[in-house]
Structure 1
């Protein structure tokens, strides 16, 4: 009986010695909280089944004016990794993020982009235009930061994170090639993009389009009557046939442009809705970064007289919540 008890104690001792190994064998998913839908999508595509990603800002949400809720604060304080954009995009959350970074792993994924690749902010001399996702090649650099942040937070997942990131970056590169091809089919004189706010400057630089926003880079800037009148004159003079509304900005000012042009005898149509500061609805292709850019590029191309069949729907992880 004593020998049997001794053997049992030895077995228990062995199990206790192995106990630290068990969590890594059946480890819980890395809990990631991301502010914008674009960042959340990058984390999902790279993290795959090793991560549980919660995005704070859903479809149609404007990050420029967003303030963290109590539920957001609770989620971020419990997360293993918090990813936010930076570059003054989430202006109302900056102080909270700086405080949180002293206690949790927090990464501003766009803050360290080379400044020579960034465009200046129209209101703040010391800041830059944050809408870098509008250029897929520039966004690829952010995806790499997300990848490295996941690796740092969960080193044992490095091989899978790198493999997933490589596939996603290949899809983004193919999307960039598609965008260049179809946007070039628009007649040169029609390559003018008029939208609700100035979120498409990186798009314009990447593809050779003039971009005119009714409001400035931040949706918090006001669009006065003089700005509306100025853009109406541009529409008539340059014979622009289409303007675009945005999913996260009121269409009131865009409708005013259409009415203003009509009063001067020029017909302007709304060419479609673009996704600027937020992805499309959850559980849809447009609710991914690839789908968002594909939708925008295809919509702009067709409305301005070009030819676009659509990039298609590559195998991307679609989040449903």
Structure 2
């Protein structure tokens, strides 16, 4: 009899609509957040912790410069409360469609107030710049890779924290505490990278296919020498100049990235007897990634 009563009680608990609603309410206490790229997911989760459920629109191995959201991702986005943008190409191209995904969606630009690097888009010409691609004048655009500078990530983190608090003021203290802890982690990371960099002179240079690391280079006294300019492969003349330039700078390693074809970089590496190392500016484990890049840049060139 007691067993039957226990069974009946459990059956009632799990069948009563009110009980189901209570369980659903518990599961929906997290804020559903969208970001453009995986490093942003790292930032938001550092500050939001278990209070946020974060989706990144650009999947691993895909370039945000050519990315187009899938219909299924638009559906996911429509279920989000906040969308943290960062100033990359597809956001502006898809802005109207992204923001119309849901009336409740709040778009938060995390690049607000950040002074961006202006790219002049000219290749090195064995000591001088040259103009195969600049007959119509020098083309300028802002470098969007602001997530690769720890100092600039501090600014982005402040924007993220404020937006989370505004959307979920009940957990203000948690967000604020997590934000402060994240700032300490960033400071520790900066100290470690500077310690690694002590072994090399200022303006120590590295060659990379896609010019993604200019902000990192600026913060830690490095010089980035790109192969690709403005999304374009070098012309035959530019390729010759790049080989001469790399030899002049005694480049021993060229960085390649999983989002881009390595063929041109491999060709230059073969010509100068250099090796190639893959680095990923979109890696989700942001802190570990920057630390690893700091280590490999210290051995990738020995400027004469």
Same-fold call, TM > 0.5? yes
Specify the SS of the correspondent of 1:257: helix
8 Å CA contact 2:32–2:80 kept in 1: the answer is yes
1:171 paired residue number: 185
1:149 paired residue number: 163
Task: Please give the per-residue CA displacement for 1:93-130, whole angstroms capped at 9, x wherever unaligned.
Answer: 334335458652111211x1243xx2114469775211
2:295 paired residue number: 298
8 Å CA contact 1:65–1:90 kept in 2: the answer is no
Q: Structure 1 residue 27: deviation in Å?
A: 5.3
> Closer, same or farther in 2 for the Cα pair 1:101/1:253, shift >3 Å?
farther
In the alignment, structure 1 residue 239 sits paired with structure 2 residue 250: yes
8 Å CA contact 1:83–1:106 kept in 2: the answer is yes
Q: Structure 1 residue 64: deviation in Å?
A: 0.8
In the alignment, structure 1 residue 274 sits paired with structure 2 residue 279: yes
8 Å CA contact 2:208–2:256 kept in 1: the answer is yes
1:201 paired residue number: 214
- Residue from 271, 279, 284 that aligns with 1:260: 271
* Unaligned residue ranges in structure 1 (runs of 5+): 1-20, 262-266, 280-286, 306-321
> Closer, same or farther in 2 for the Cα pair 1:234/1:91, shift >3 Å?
farther
Task: Please give the per-residue CA displacement for 1:189-212, whole angstroms capped at 9, x wherever unaligned.
Answer: 8x1110011111112211222211
TM-score if structure 2 supplies the norm length?
Answer: 0.78
Task: Please give the per-residue CA displacement for 1:41-76, whole angstroms capped at 9, x wherever unaligned.
Answer: 111111001111111223222111111110110011
8 Å CA contact 2:164–2:175 kept in 1: the answer is yes
Q: Structure 1 residue 248: deviation in Å?
A: 2.2
> Closer, same or farther in 2 for the Cα pair 1:231/1:35, shift >3 Å?
same
* Unaligned residue ranges in structure 2 (runs of 5+): 1-21, 122-137
In the alignment, structure 1 residue 130 sits paired with structure 2 residue 127: no
Specify the SS of the correspondent of 2:224: strand
Specify the SS of the correspondent of 1:215: coil
8 Å CA contact 2:67–2:90 kept in 1: the answer is no
8 Å CA contact 1:38–1:288 kept in 2: the answer is yes
> Closer, same or farther in 2 for the Cα pair 1:102/1:121, shift >3 Å?
farther
Q: Which stretch of the first structure deviates more once superposed, 61-70 or 127-136?
A: 127-136
1:94 paired residue number: 95
Give, in whole Å, the separation in 2 of the partners of 1:85 and 1:23: 33
TM-score if structure 1 supplies the norm length?
Answer: 0.75
1:44 paired residue number: 45
Give, in whole Å, the separation in 2 of the partners of 1:259 and 1:186: 25
Give, in whole Å, the separation in 2 of the partners of 1:238 and 1:296: 19
Q: Structure 1 residue 89: deviation in Å?
A: 6.2
Specify the SS of the correspondent of 1:185: coil
Task: Please give the per-residue CA displacement for 1:136-187, whole angstroms capped at 9, x wherever unaligned.
Answer: 1111111111111111111111111111111111111111111122123125
